């Protein structure tokens, strides 16, 4: 399937997903600090001793994703980094939504003035129906409110439906800067540039806009920031252009599948994500990025190719191979509900029942496997797993 691996696409391929993420190279004091972008595992003397906890879209297990409430909760729980996924509005604002289709994460369907904008588009090779950020100005986006995408599974988060605005990158950076100052610790940001080739193809390239916002923001230009993408060309384009910002790093997102990154598919290339995860592929990734981020099952398999979950297996050689190539390793995404856990980590209740203690132990298996950071929908559990407090 030759397109960007959205959640829908990957779920069909049997992966237990959520967005993506990564971490940084050293911890100084109470907060995360990145080594210079040129640093690698080999140059800095090895992998991290204490992995970073990444708040996946904030604390998306308990608050609607990509809202101030979600980011605030993640920071309060001790997340080292929080993640804004970035998509573009019609007038070029970069806003935080996991996808440009906002049908499931906003109350846009309740706005009759926007009813005619519901449409079907081909996004990275997949037909998607809904409302799309590129068809709205920022002023129009600001009339909408966030809702919980997994409402049936996450009633606490759903209880906040309709309360919070959609955010720009600048608003998130200012909020995180304020939290950092108030708490006396650096809090990193790990933005993912979504659908890069698609947005460039409709005249809304995001990479230069992102750099412009970094240049205009004291926090974005000095705090730990990792830019992530499932595509390759945009990371390579960014590589020389972030040289002036020693706190910025790049992360290549991957899945262990014979799928092409969207930009590779669009250009007729042959590179697959699976090839990226070979020793030769990892060495190539290291020429333009500091981080590699495979999905959880790429590090410790569980389940089968049909998508049926199973017990947790033994770690693959991927972490060792990536470290040998000079890359730091993140993984995505740990969620606390039964539905997302290996069968031997599940507990009583249905698919939506939380298993906090089992989830912490699940995270610790990946820590033991040597990851340098991990994404989690509940950073409080991630903090407990890392710090040994539960």
Q: Tell me, yes or no, whether 173 lies in a domain.
A: yes
Instruction: Report residue 44 as tokens.
Output: 């800095």
Share of the chain above pLDDT 70, in %: 87
Please name every residue paired with 120 in a beta bridge, in sequence order, or none if there are none. 129
Provide the domain limits for residue 296. 7-101+165-387
Instruction: Report residue 152 as tokens.
Output: 């049936």
pLDDT band at 309 (very low <50, low <70, confident <90, very high): confident
Please name every residue paired with 164 in a beta bridge, in sequence order, or none if there are none. none
Residue 15 pLDDT more than 50? no
Q: What is the pLDDT of residue 200?
A: 98
| Residue 333, preceding peptide bond in cis (omega within 30° of 0) | yes
How is the chain split among helix, strand and coil, in percent rounded to 5? 35, 15, 45
| Residue 253 burial (10 A CB sphere; 0-12, 13-18, 19+) | buried
Q: Tell me, yes or no, whether 127 lies in a domain.
A: no
**Whole-angstrom Cα distance, residue 138 to residue 112?**
18
Nearest of 267, 269, 272 to residue 230 by alpha carbon: 272
**Whole-angstrom Cα distance, residue 17 to residue 9?**
10
Nearest of 236, 239, 276 to residue 254 by alpha carbon: 276
**Domains identified in the chain, total number:** 1
Residue 169 pLDDT more than 70? yes
Q: Tell me, yes or no, whether 156 lies in a domain.
A: no
Mean pLDDT, rounded, of the chain: 89
Q: Tell me, yes or no, whether 170 lies in a domain.
A: yes
pLDDT band at 16 (very low <50, low <70, confident <90, very high): very low
Average pLDDT estimate for 192-213: 98
**Whole-angstrom Cα distance, residue 22 to residue 374?**
6
Residue 13 pLDDT more than 90? no
Q: Are strands 85-88 and 81-82 parallel, antiparallel or unpaired?
A: unpaired
Highest mean pLDDT of the ranges 3-12, 254-263, 274-283: 274-283
**Whole-angstrom Cα distance, residue 135 to residue 89?**
7
Instruction: Report residue 68 as tokens.
Output: 């101030």
Q: What is the pLDDT of residue 39?
A: 43
Question: What backbone torsions phi and psi does residue 321 show, to the nearest 5 degrees?
Answer: -65, -40
Residue 106 pLDDT more than 80? yes
Average pLDDT estimate for 352-378: 98
DSSP code per residue over 222-274: HS-EEEEES-SHHHHHHHHHTTT-TTEEEEEE--SSS---HHHHHTT----HH
* 36-51 pLDDT, tens digit each: 334 445 444 455 679 9
Q: Tell me, yes or no, whether 136 lies in a domain.
A: no
DSSP code per residue over 147-199: --TTTTT-HHHHTTTTS----BHHHHHHHHHHHHHHHTS--EE--EE-SHHHH
- In what helix (H) or strand (E) does residue 380 lie, and over which residues does it extend? helix 379-387
* 50-81 pLDDT, tens digit each: 999 999 999 999 999 999 999 999 999 999 99
Average pLDDT estimate for 351-373: 98
> Do residues 41 and 47 touch, judged by C-beta distance below 8 A?
yes
Instruction: Report residue 202 as tokens.
Output: 């409709």
Burial of 129-142, coded b for 16+ CB within 10 Å and e otherwise, reads ebbbbbbbebebbb
Residue 77 belongs to domain with CATH number: 3.20.20.190
Q: Tell me, yes or no, whether 123 lies in a domain.
A: no
Q: What is the pTM of this model?
A: 0.90
Q: What is the pLDDT of residue 248?
A: 98
Q: Tell me, yes or no, whether 302 lies in a domain.
A: yes
Neighbouring residues of 15: CB distance < 8 A, sequence distance ≥ 6: 255, 257, 295, 297, 307
Residue 108 pLDDT more than 50? yes
Q: What is the pLDDT of residue 303?
A: 83
Q: Tell me, yes or no, whether 308 lies in a domain.
A: yes
């Amino acid at each position: 399937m030759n397109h960007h691996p959205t959640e829908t696409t990957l779920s069909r391929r049997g992966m237990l997903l959520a967005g993506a993420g990564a971490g940084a190279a050293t911890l100084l004091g109470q907060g995360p600090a990145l080594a210079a972008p040129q640093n690698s595992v080999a140059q800095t003397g090895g992998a991290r001793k204490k992995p970073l906890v990444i708040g996946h879209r904030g604390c998306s297990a308990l608050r609607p994703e990509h809202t101030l409430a979600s980011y605030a909760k993640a920071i309060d729980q001790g997340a080292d980094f929080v993640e804004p996924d970035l998509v573009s509005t019609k007038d070029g604002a970069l806003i935080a939504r996991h996808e440009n289709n906002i049908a499931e994460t906003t109350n846009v369907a309740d706005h009759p003035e926007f009813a005619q904008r519901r449409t079907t588009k081909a996004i990275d090779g997949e037909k998607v129906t809904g409302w799309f950020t590129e068809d709205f100005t920022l002023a129009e986006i600001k009339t909408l409110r966030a809702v919980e995408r997994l409402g049936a599974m996450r009633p606490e988060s759903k209880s906040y439906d309709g309360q919070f605005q959609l955010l720009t990158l600048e608003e998130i950076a200012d909020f995180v800067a304020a939290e950092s100052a108030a708490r006396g610790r650096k809090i990193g940001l790990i933005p993912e540039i979504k659908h890069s080739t698609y947005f460039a193809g409709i005249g809304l390239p995001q990479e230069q806009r992102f750099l412009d916002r970094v240049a205009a923001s004291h926090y974005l230009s000095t705090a730990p920031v990792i830019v992530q993408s499932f595509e390759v060309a945009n990371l390579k384009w960014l590589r020389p252009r972030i040289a002036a910002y020693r706190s910025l790093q790049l992360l290549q997102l991957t899945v262990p599948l014979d799928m092409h990154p969207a930009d590779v598919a669009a250009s007729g290339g042959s590179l697959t994500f699976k090839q990226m995860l070979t020793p030769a592929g990892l060495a190539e990734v290291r020429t333009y990025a500091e981080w590699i981020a495979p999905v959880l099952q790429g590090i410790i398999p569980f389940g089968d190719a049909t998508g049926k979950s199973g017990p947790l297996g033994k770690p693959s050689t991927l972490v060792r191979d990536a470290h040998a190539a000079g890359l730091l390793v993140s993984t995505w995404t740990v969620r606390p509900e039964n539905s997302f856990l290996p069968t031997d980590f599940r507990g009583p209740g249905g698919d939506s029942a939380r298993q906090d203690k089992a989830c912490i132990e699940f995270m610790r298996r990946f820590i033991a496997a040597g990851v340098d950071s991990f994404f989690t929908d509940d950073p409080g559990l991630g903090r407990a797993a890392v710090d040994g407090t539960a």
